[in-house]
Amino acid sequence: MVEAVAGSEGQVEPTGKRGVEFDFSRDKQVFPVPWGKAMMWIFLLSDTFIFSCFLVSYMKVRISTTDPWPNPSEVFGLTMFGQSVPLLLIAIMTFVLITSSGTMALAVNYGYRKDRKKTFWLMAATALLGATFVGMQAFEWTKLISEGVRPWENPFGAAQFGSSFFMITGFHGMHVSAGVIYLLVVANRVRNGFYERRGGNYEIVEIAGLYWHFVDLVWVFIFAFFYLW
């Protein structure tokens, strides 16, 4: 026996399993999660699989190669005042990206408070920090390329180092670059009152925040596996 309840327009709507089917057939939100947020979570889940495959492949190559693997402290060191400082640039890049997570979290907080000015500036600050990270990554790439590192060869040791480095950091850098553009678009709409004219819903700020926190979290794993191992 199928139970039914009266809808808002007087029509009879089934409940239980048939009710779920009925809601889906009408493209009605069944679960208390906005579609935009649900789609972002699905996208991030698929991206998690991709980054996981990259990192697992990197570990497989790192363990199986017979050639000596380069020492990250030497390869990624910067010379300052005549002394090589290990992982200095990488540490600054990590600090910048982690800081951007803090500004993004504040932007989401002020977005739900409907504080348009603070939300805009915090999102702009997050985008600026993200662009700074990409700029430092471009400097890192330029430095290694000038030293002879290529996807097919590496003067520091195992040839697989170059291909792993450019593939993993390049794919992540592409995500950060796309995120910067995404944040700037949303921030500009916050500034000009676009969301207030549509009912004052700042949910898109949280959705953008989900993406940004994801790329920050991925960098933590890249930093641990690639630069510290």
DSSP 8-state symbol, 69: P
- Is 199 found in the same domain as 92? yes
- Is 119 found in the same domain as 52? yes
Residue with tokens 């060191």: 77
Determine the pLDDT at residue 97: 94
Mean pLDDT for the chain overall: 85
- Is 59 found in the same domain as 20? no
- Is 100 found in the same domain as 138? yes
Which stretch of DSSP H or E encloses residue 84? strand 83-85
Q: Which CATH number goes with the domain that contains 37?
A: 1.20.120.80
- Is 151 found in the same domain as 205? yes
Determine the pLDDT at residue 107: 95
One-letter identity of residue 59: M
- Is 196 found in the same domain as 153? yes
- Is 196 found in the same domain as 84? yes
Q: What's the Cα-to-Cα distance from 183 to each of 113, 130, 164, 187, rounded to whole Å?
A: 19, 10, 28, 6
Domain range for 2: 1-30
Confidence check: pLDDT of 14 > 80: no
- Is 83 found in the same domain as 25? no
Confidence check: pLDDT of 194 > 90: no
Q: Which of 8-17, 37-46, 149-158 is predicted with the least confidence, judged by mean pLDDT?
A: 8-17
Phi, psi of 6 (to 5 degrees): -80, 130
- pLDDT digit string (tens) for 44-88? 999 999 999 999 999 999 888 888 888 888 888 877 777 777 888
Per cent of the chain over pLDDT 70 is 85
Structure tokens at 141: 């790439």
Number of domains in the chain: 2
- Is 93 found in the same domain as 123? yes
- Is 157 found in the same domain as 47? yes
- Is 93 found in the same domain as 11? no
